[in-house]
A = this chain, B = another copy of it.
């Protein structure tokens, strides 16, 4: 059974989460602050972590750091609307996904499902298959379903690879810029827009309504297969 660790200090929200998660056959563990969250992590080895950023004791991203030091467990962050900065920090620290409060329980459950699926043993094949194209990371090649090859420039490929390696997860603009152009270009978000547009022109069936390379306004981009 999939184990979920809920880290939150609002009793009402915790109760709602526990009920709903149990109803969907998840095993639920609770921690009311960051310190006990880290303890529980070590003891229970959950498959998914739901982490509220507004904890009483430790800063949320520090909790993430503490977990990421030794575990790749998927982390879903809960954040209030006025915690934009904390949210970005959390994602950069290694969170996988985020949900803004208030949220629909269905949305959260969907994200938990996705996160749990990611946690499963990855297959050896580093090929990413979608309805429209296949990305072969080992060969550095992309082929459309109709057999035609997609020709990518070095920068386009770096960008696609960075997104696909974190597929399903949000990748912040900062992280992308740092990885591809270097730390001193972290603020040059325009570079991203240009190259994301080029990628979409080459990959998306309808580039102006992107299906695979999604924009998360203010945060970054997300590749969804």
User: How many subunits of this chain does the assembly comprise?
Assistant: 2
Q: Does A3 contact B (CB under 8 A)?
A: no
Q: Does A16 contact B (CB under 8 A)?
A: yes
Question: How far, in Å, is A214 (CB) from chain B's closest CB?
Answer: 10
Contact of A119 among B70, B73, B104 (CB under 8 A): B104
Cα–Cα distance between A124 and B124 once the two chains are bound (Å): 21
Q: Mark A110-131 against chain B: 1 for CB-CB distance below 8 A, else 0.
A: 1101100001111110000000
Interface centre among A106, A109, A165 (most CB of B within 10 A): A106
Interface residues contributed by chain A, number (CB under 8 Å): 50
Question: How far, in Å, is A135 (CB) from chain B's closest CB?
Answer: 13
Question: How far, in Å, is A125 (CB) from chain B's closest CB?
Answer: 9
Assess the A72–B102 pair: CB atoms within 8 A: yes
Name A71-118 residues within 8 Å CB distance of B.
71-73, 81-82, 84, 94, 100, 102-107, 109-111, 113-114
Q: Does A12 contact B (CB under 8 A)?
A: yes
Query: Which B residues lie within 8 Å of A29 (CB)?
Result: none
Q: Mark A56-72 against chain B: 1 for CB-CB distance below 8 A, else 0.
A: 00000000000011111
Q: Which residue of B lies closest to A115 (CB)?
A: B124
Give the segment of A137-145, A188-196, A204-212 that binds chain B.
A137-145
Query: Which B residues lie within 8 Å of A109 (CB)?
Result: 121
Q: Does A2 contact B (CB under 8 A)?
A: no
Q: Nearest 10 A-B pairs (CB), nearest first?
A: A140-B170, A106-B121, A154-B218, A72-B104, A114-B124, A139-B169, A72-B102, A68-B102, A107-B122, A72-B103
A residues apposed to B, CB below 8 Å: 12-13, 16, 68-73, 81-82, 84, 94, 100, 102-107, 109-111, 113-114, 119-124, 138-141, 153-154, 157, 165, 168-170, 175, 178-179, 216-219, 222
